[in-house]
Amino acid sequence: MKRFMAGITMQKFKLLNIFLLIVLGATEVLASGPQCSDLFNNKVTDLQQYYNQKLSKKYKGLDFLLRNPDDFMAEMRQRFESQKKITPANPHAFDFSEMGLPALKLMRDGLLSQILVIGASKRFKGKLFKFEVEELELAEHYARMVLSEVETFLAQDQISYYDVLRISFFYTRAAGFGHMSVMHTPLQKLQLAFDRRLEGFRELSIQAEIEIYEKNQLNIFQPLQKSALKGYQEAEGPFIEAITNKSYLGAIIVPTGVAIDRDVLLRLLSRHDINISGLTRASLQADGFFRPPGDFWNHDLRHETAKYYEKYTYIKEHNLTKLQVEILYKQTDRWLAQFNAMISKIKDAELKYAIELVQFNVHHDSGLPMIPSVFLTKARLYNTVLFYISLIVGKEKSGLFSGIKNIIQGYRIVTQFWQLRLVEEQAMLNSF
């Protein structure tokens, strides 16, 4: 089994996932496709300001970030540089209270809920094995340790970026204990087992989790646990370096409990240095899997590593300066607005859905930036078709083949969209 999993590719896994859905008769889909948005149109004169105003109003918990992502990142870098003079050994200890305190409140609520659930389980200890009772005791102890730290920072009404990131990792591990046992179907458990191998996540004993916590170190991904996918392996190193570099704040992770949609994901797709990762209180459905809090956090970060790596690779290949990268950000915002304007004009609902699915799958799932040459050289139709089939089989919808026809047509439309803008990209690069 281990040998099989070590050699599996993403394409093989998707095919296997579809087979499992068919054989085991799954009746629910674990991730829905993106919904149509009419946020953007040709009348917008200042696209970035338009994005910022719309999204900051829609997502109140992220308004500090979304009202101007460029200013947000500039402010974080300024705080980093100032902190470097105070604590050169840990320049990431700069103030992050605007984003950190709301995240801490969600963690507090999630841990209190987890402690209640564990307490309820302990009432049946007469029916449990001794080792199960001991595991519950340790799980409660772990949750209370993390909760104590969360409440301390809330009482201080201030927290650093370093501590938010450090505690977020441990929160997701503590809050995720026991979630596998409440999953409804064997399929969900089997899917998650495959997913964990691919994304580099392993469920440890509570004692092992506590030992990692007591080291009081910053962890981006689970220590000593690597993804089985070559792409994730390649992306992880540059991403972690950008996050943890003590000389320059190359990228930042924003932990949040705010439920976001495709509009935020695509808005921040151009900003490879701003990365959002979700904090959840319970297991949630995402991109085809029912994920406990720890898996959800890890999954989001894997998406962000792909996004960062693909954009980082493009910038490196073209030797872009910081000023040129800013120009690229603005150009990708224009392309995104043009793309959404194109979608808004399509009357056929199924075709519109297909185009959005292609966009979502290529640019969010695969992390490919919205740049013509990147789409035309790296996007693959079969990836979107496989993703679509898994959604259809999971829902047991009819119209499978007519739907695939729409996906193929939608892919051609998206391809044509980027082909027409390839000359714009080349002109931009030639101007540098």
Question: What are the pLDDT digits (tens) for 263-307?
Answer: 898 888 888 899 999 999 888 877 667 788 999 999 999 989 999
> According to the model, what pLDDT value does residue 181 have?
63
Residue boundaries of the structural domains of the chain: 2-431
Calpha distance 213→166 (Å, rounded): 9
Query: Using one digit for the tens of pLDDT, what is the confidence trace for 173-203?
Result: 999 887 666 665 777 788 788 888 988 998 8
pLDDT on residue 379 = 92
Q: What is the pLDDT of residue 104?
A: 97
pLDDT (0 to 100) of residue 270 = 80
Kindly give the confidence (pLDDT) of every residue in the chain, 432 residues in length, as a single tens digit, with 9 standing for 90 and above: 333 334 445 555 455 554 444 443 333 222 333 333 333 334 434 777 888 899 999 998 999 999 999 999 999 999 999 999 999 999 999 999 999 999 999 999 999 999 998 888 877 766 777 778 888 899 999 999 999 999 999 999 999 999 999 999 999 999 988 766 666 577 778 878 888 898 899 888 899 999 999 998 889 988 878 888 888 888 899 999 999 999 999 999 999 999 988 889 888 888 889 999 999 988 887 766 778 899 999 999 998 999 999 999 999 999 999 899 989 988 998 999 899 999 999 999 889 988 988 998 898 888 899 999 999 999 999 888 887 776 665 443 444 556 888 889 999 999 999 999 999 999 999 999
Task: Provide the whole-model pTM.
Answer: 0.83
